Structure 1
Amino acid sequence: MRFQRLGPIGSEIPVLVDGERRLDLRGITADIDGDFLSSDGAERARAALEAGELPELEGAERMRVGAPIARPTAVLCIGQNYAAHAAESGDNPPEVPILFFKHPNTVVGPQDDVAIPPQAETVDWEVELGVVIGSRARYLASDEEAMACVAGYVVSNDVSERDYQTKHSGGQWSKGKCAETFNPLGPELVTADEVDVQALRLWSTVNGEPRQDSSTADMIFPVAEIVRHLSQYLVLEPGDLINTGTPQGVALSGRFPYLVAGDVMEIGIEGLGQQRQRLVPATA
């Protein structure tokens, strides 16, 4: 199953993607959120689809595409989860998952503009596989239990300000990760049953020029291990988002210029869709 949220910011309509059709889910749920995911929402949507009970949303093709999940209660991020990216950052591969957080209000739609903060000069792109939690996860004992807590997957762009991350953050990274609009998400939430999660190609371009090109097969810590590991330290709630790390090919490597206003990022993951964002100056 594939889900989207369409419409203006704050008024998105939940839809089920059925080929070229967008089917209105408001008869089932007010939104694609933790409550929907934790109450068998996907199966209820499937049953309604099979019964022919979902009306097509008129004008869907002209609507803004929002983030495919409503604002999560937490955005958890795994750092340096690809060995080549750790190397280009000047670090050894981590021995345990590195955790940092983004503010939930960083999450925007996959085609929304990304705003460069005042004084920011080292803004970077990071294509990542996003994991959306579907049921409460705490003290999980196995990878199987961990995967049972996953609702689905999304394309996520962990936009970063590297000086804020490395020079302003006092030993942690979140100051460089939390500017508004710094986590474009989507275009779709694809349920876990449709995804071979450790065999997905990830890619990114800037102004049409290639940057990243890798596979989730190269993760140091796979999805199951990440979810199980995190559950030992915190409780994951339905609707939470986990960004699972980025492969090599970012500006931090020194091989590419950082982003400036007017640049265009495009990122994608095989089977999950792609995004396109324009960089603009932040306004007060």
Structure 2
Amino acid sequence: MTDIDDRFTVLGARPGKIMAVHLSYISRADQRGRRPAAPSYFFKPSSSLAASGAEIERPAGTELLAFEGEIALIIGEPARWVTPDAAWNHVASLTAANDFGLYDLRANDKGSNVRSKGGDGYTPLGPALIDARAVDPAALRLRTWVNGEVVQDDTTAGLLFPLAQIVADLSQHFTLETGDVILTGTPAGSSVVVPGDVVEVQVDAGIHSTGRLRTTVVQGGRPFDGAVGSLPAADDTQRTEAWGSAAAAAAARTGDRSETGRSAGDSPVLTDSPVLNAPDTRPVLTPELRAKLARVPVAALSGQLRTRGLNDVTIDGVHALTPGNRFVGTARTLRFLPHREDLFAARGGGYNAQKRAFDAVEQGEVLVIEARGERGSGTLGDILAIRAHARGAAAIVTDGGVRDAEAVAAVGIPVFTAGPHPAVLGRRHVPWETDVAIGCGGTTVEPGDILVGDGDGVIVLPPALAEEVVDAALAQEEEDAWIAAQVASGHPVDGLFPMNAEWRARYESERQN
């Protein structure tokens, strides 16, 4: 721990208040799937301040320490009930900040961020101040580097709420005093860091610059005491929020640099969850496996899964929008919740989960939508179908309705749905989240599951069983075709279907010849 005076060097004194904005950049809000109508805030203790060059500890037993590069405003003249037009006159200077947060404690805080963002060293500031009178608050550039690689790069032109509006809004509620600090939010790109990582943040305004605010992450040795208070707990929701996306959170377990921007050696120390620490052994849908699955009817796959004890693997109540459509692909998931006006207002507009899912679906993937079997509105229309088709998606499966059904059918991508409906999404649904396990048509679908669809419906194939099941189904199809030929030539089905010993011997003999 640095000496207490060092923590306040850049400010010249200990601030009375540190206020932070929850969501302020368009890029971050859209990443989170909600655009707030007005700014909201939380407080951080002044004991959380640190100087450039300081270390931050990731506490023992935790995994989700995340950085947030931000612009910090330092109040000059006290402000109370000031207008947005006059608010910037009350800002003396600005500097770079890093609003660190420990997502393992976020759920326990229930929105207050007292523990998750109040730790010692969780608010580095500096290294230099920029005179607020010398810059345009709408033309500031913010950048963050992790281990020398740029991970955040945005400008205040991309703010939902101008900096002056934030100052004016806070001044409605209490007096902003000289030396108070306002952390003005972070753009997209915030993610998890691990011991050994170096995070740098810099703010530039033309010829003016704060220089790089440098913080090194180190491993703490002292765990939290459960006898005193609640313990850290990380779940999939917090991992997704901390890493920035479900894909990045999943990739962190395998060190996939394409998603996390981190090498395998930088993967975080996870909790003791056997599922999270287990290697991912799910096979990839190879071209060879895909070709075999394309030859097998869904009914044959269903029969083979049933012999292996899997009966609840069909997506019930959905049918091909265009008869004759067939597909094979891996699941990419999208979840809708029942419509609620306030939730739709917060998460239904802008670059919401529905739009993100259609923009993210990859070549050969099936976009699977959980709509709870609700047919009273569309879950997609022709524009989104065109987008999925352009991305190379194998199909779209929804247990809800489809809007613009004829136009969607004309796009050419296989769509399996509960039926057409003219109403827009917001009549029945709130677009909620992507890339999570969902329930569609009465069965659970996980991202990466293999789906096959044809005129009989859609089946979910666990990847670990895919090769075994398709080989058995192909063998059964060959046998059934031989039986069908015998029946067509006039033989009765008794003893032939299923085959008795005599017919079995004849079949095996003909196969060998």
Out of 97, 100, 105, the residue aligned to residue 42 of structure 2 is: 100
Cα deviations across residues 33-65 of structure 1 (Å, max 9, x unaligned)?
xxxxxxxxxxxxxxxxxxxxxxxxxxxxxxxxx
Distance 1:114 1:85 in 2: 24
Out of 166, 170, 175, the residue aligned to residue 230 of structure 1 is: 170
Note if 1:274 corresponds to 2:268: no
CA contact (8 A) 1:67 1:110 kept: no
Note if 1:262 corresponds to 2:204: no
Distance 1:226 1:108 in 2: 24
Q: Which amino acid aligns with 1:71?
A: R
1:41 corresponding residue in structure 2: none
Give the number of aligned pairs.
Answer: 217
CA contact (8 A) 2:69 2:190 kept: no
Note if 1:67 corresponds to 2:10: yes
Q: Which amino acid aligns with 1:138?
A: R
Structure 1 alignment gaps of length 5 or more = 1-7, 14-31, 33-65, 252-257
Q: Which amino acid aligns with 2:45?
A: H
What aligned pairs does 1:238-257 form with structure 2 within 5 A after superposition?
Answer: 238-251=178-191
CA contact (8 A) 2:28 2:187 kept: yes
Using the TM superposition, give the Cα deviation of residue 210 of structure 1 relative to its aligned residue in structure 2, in angstroms. Answer: 2.2
Q: Say if 1:68 and 1:282 are closer, same or farther in 2 by CA, change over 3 A.
A: farther
2:27 corresponding residue in structure 1: 84
2:127 corresponding residue in structure 1: 187
What's the TM-score once normalised by structure 1's chain length? 0.72
Distance 1:242 1:69 in 2: 16
Distance 1:69 1:281 in 2: 30
Out of 163, 170, 175, the residue aligned to residue 110 of structure 2 is: 170
Q: Which amino acid aligns with 1:260?
A: V
Q: Say if 1:201 and 1:169 are closer, same or farther in 2 by CA, change over 3 A.
A: same
Distance 2:170 2:186 in 1: 18
Distance 2:37 2:175 in 1: 22
Q: Which amino acid aligns with 2:64?
A: T
1:137 corresponding residue in structure 2: 79
Cα deviations across residues 236-260 of structure 1 (Å, max 9, x unaligned)?
1110000000000012xxxxxx211
Q: Say if 1:67 and 1:281 are closer, same or farther in 2 by CA, change over 3 A.
A: farther
* Greater helix proportion: 2
1:40 corresponding residue in structure 2: none
CA contact (8 A) 2:6 2:50 kept: no
Report which structure shows greater RCO (CA 8 Å, sep ≥6): 1
Q: Which amino acid aligns with 1:269?
A: V
Using the TM superposition, give the Cα deviation of residue 120 of structure 1 relative to its aligned residue in structure 2, in angstroms. Answer: 2.4
Q: Say if 1:274 and 1:95 are closer, same or farther in 2 by CA, change over 3 A.
A: same
Looking at CA atoms only, which structure, 1 or 2, has the larger radius of gyration? 2
Note if 1:122 corresponds to 2:64: yes
Distance 1:96 1:249 in 2: 22
DSSP 3-state at the match of 2:212? strand
Q: Which amino acid aligns with 2:3?
A: I
Distance 1:129 1:120 in 2: 27
TM-align CA RMSD: 1.9
CA contact (8 A) 2:27 2:158 kept: no
DSSP 3-state at the match of 1:187? strand
CA contact (8 A) 2:11 2:179 kept: no
What's the TM-score once normalised by structure 2's chain length? 0.41
CA contact (8 A) 2:71 2:97 kept: yes
Cα deviations across residues 133-175 of structure 1 (Å, max 9, x unaligned)?
01211122x223211211111111111112322x111233332
CA contact (8 A) 1:68 1:187 kept: no
Percent pairwise identity: 33
DSSP 3-state at the match of 2:38? coil
Distance 1:12 1:202 in 2: 24
Note if 1:111 corresponds to 2:53: yes
CA contact (8 A) 1:117 1:179 kept: no
2:377 corresponding residue in structure 1: none
Q: Say if 1:278 and 1:135 are closer, same or farther in 2 by CA, change over 3 A.
A: same
Using the TM superposition, give the Cα deviation of residue 266 of structure 1 relative to its aligned residue in structure 2, in angstroms. Answer: 1.4
Cα deviations across residues 51-89 of structure 1 (Å, max 9, x unaligned)?
xxxxxxxxxxxxxxx433422111100111012212223
Structure 2 alignment gaps of length 5 or more = 223-513
DSSP 3-state at the match of 2:73? strand
